[in-house]
């Protein structure tokens, strides 16, 4: 006897423990299996692109902190890189090195969160997450030392950084960087040898190489699918050409590969910070820029490799003090395009894990 069944619609979100903020997925379910998914955005839409048009170029730096609030430093950097490109400003070398150190610390911090939340979505009742928080806390302390802020740094300035690092920063950073690989390896041993973690992540949520490219995926999602594409290598900005580091890539494109890529990237970031600390030159931290910045008419696109993927700012100047148009290339939003393909046909439990492995920040998705 064939039972008559019907699908039903489940609203996961906007308030849901696994949606990492106010994000909603409209799931069409056949029992536990997902038949269709429609992401619904906009609960955190603040119109930053519109607001930015009403403020001057330096004032807009503050908005970038509020995009991906787990990686404010890299947002700052992407924006100032774009403005510098637009206005033809070159930041002093010391400032560039400081930016690299901050950006890589931010990347470690963001990846720690991504891995921690992924495991939380797998159901590991907070424990891995809190260990990740412990390590992130030390990074926040370092940022606090540099710019007096722990979440919204507003540290990068057009043509430099807001202030030089204090004396005690480099020793503290050195101490932290020396201890970090041990911690990462320790967590890694606990997690990557855990049979339940493996069975939940391996061969689940596979995004093929072709799909990843077609979906414009970026960052760990793209590299997890085996595409060796990292803006730091492909189109080096700042002083990244001077550092030796690898671009880790996955082979299958499943949750596990994305997770592994993030872990490896943390090791690479540590290597970059080490080199940057050694090479850190003395000198100015701020280029001479006019008091009132009026970039010449034109447009520019500045991009960097953010923790979640390529983060870019497209700016159009009409010669005034305010940007005529500011557009963010939000890696979180664009990575989510692949969500539907990944989720259809899997069970609810996997859906949450896949969603966690994409690692989004709703502040950046909705802007």
The strand pairing partners of 11, in sequence order, are 26
Q: Is 258 exposed, middle or buried (0-12, 13-18, 19+ CB in 10 A)?
A: buried
* Position among 216, 275, 286, 322 found at the interface with another protein (CB under 8 A): 216
Site string for another protein, 18-57 (x = CB under 8 A): x----------x-xx-----x--xx--x-x-xx-------
Site string for another protein, 69-108 (x = CB under 8 A): ----------------------------------------
Q: How far is the CB of 103 from another protein (least distance, A)?
A: 19
Residue 21 tokens read as 């903020």
Q: Is 333 in the site for another protein (CB under 8 A)?
A: yes
By CB under 8 A, tell whether 194 contacts another protein.
Answer: yes
337 binds another protein (CB under 8 A): yes
Residues across the chain: 367
Contact between 242 and another protein by CB under 8 A: the answer reads no
What count of Cα atoms within 13 Å lies in the side-chain half-sphere of residue 18?
22
Residue 183 interacts with another protein (CB under 8 A)? no
Helices vs strands, H then E, count in the chain: 15, 8
Site string for another protein, 246-275 (x = CB under 8 A): x-xxxx----xx--xx--x---x-------
Report the residue number, 116 or 160, with the smaller CB distance to another protein: 116
Determine contact, residues 206/253, Cβ cutoff 8 Å: yes
* 183/179 Cα distance (integer angstroms): 7
Burial of 282 (0-12, 13-18, 19+ CB in 10 A): exposed
Residues 130-159 that bind another protein (CB under 8 A): 130-131, 134
Does residue 146 sit in helix, strand or coil? helix
Among the listed residues 62, 179, 235, 281, the single contact to another protein using CB under 8 A: 235
């Amino acid at each position: 006897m064939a039972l008559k069944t019907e699908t039903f619609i489940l609203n996961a979100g906007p308030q849901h423990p696994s949606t990492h903020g106010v994000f909603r997925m409209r799931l069409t379910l056949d029992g536990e299996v997902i038949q269709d998914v429609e992401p619904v955005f906009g609960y955190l839409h603040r119109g930053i692109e519109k607001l930015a048009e009403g403020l001057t170029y330096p004032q807009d730096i503050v908005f970038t902190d509020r995009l991906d609030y787990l990686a404010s430093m890299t947002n700052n950097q992407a924006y100032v890189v774009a403005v510098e490109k637009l206005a033809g400003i070159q930041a002093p070398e010391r400032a560039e090195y400081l930016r690299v150190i901050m950006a890589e610390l931010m990347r470690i911090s963001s990846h720690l969160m991504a891995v921690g939340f992924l495991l939380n979505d797998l159901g590991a009742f907070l424990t891995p997450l809190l260990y990740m928080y412990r390590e992130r806390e030390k990074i926040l302390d370092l940022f606090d030392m540099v710019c007096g802020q722990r979440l919204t740094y507003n540290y990068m300035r057009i043509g430099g950084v807001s202030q030089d690092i204090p004396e005690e920063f480099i020793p503290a950073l050195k101490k932290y960087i020396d201890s970090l690989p041990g911690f990462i390896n320790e967590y890694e041993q606990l997690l990557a040898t855990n049979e339940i973690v493996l069975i939940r992540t391996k061969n689940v949520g596979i995004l093929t190489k072709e799909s990843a490219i077609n979906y414009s995926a970026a960052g760990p999602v793209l590299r997890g699918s085996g595409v060796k594409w990292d803006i730091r290598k492909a189109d080096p900005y700042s002083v990244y050409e001077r550092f030796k580091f690898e671009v880790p890539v996955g082979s299958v494109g499943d949750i596990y590969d994305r997770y592994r890529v993030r872990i490896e990237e943390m090791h690479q970031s540590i290597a970059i910070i080490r080199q940057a600390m050694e090479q850190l030159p003395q000198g100015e931290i701020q280029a001479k820029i006019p008091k009132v910045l009026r970039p010449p008419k034109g447009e520019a696109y500045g991009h960097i490799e953010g923790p979640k993927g390529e983060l870019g700012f497209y700016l159009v100047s009409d010669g005034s003090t305010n940007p005529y148009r500011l557009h963010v290339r939000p890696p979180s939003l664009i990575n989510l395009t692949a969500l539907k393909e990944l989720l259809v046909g899997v069970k609810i439990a996997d859906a949450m894990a896949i969603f966690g492995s994409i690692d989004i920040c709703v502040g950046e998705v909705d802007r």
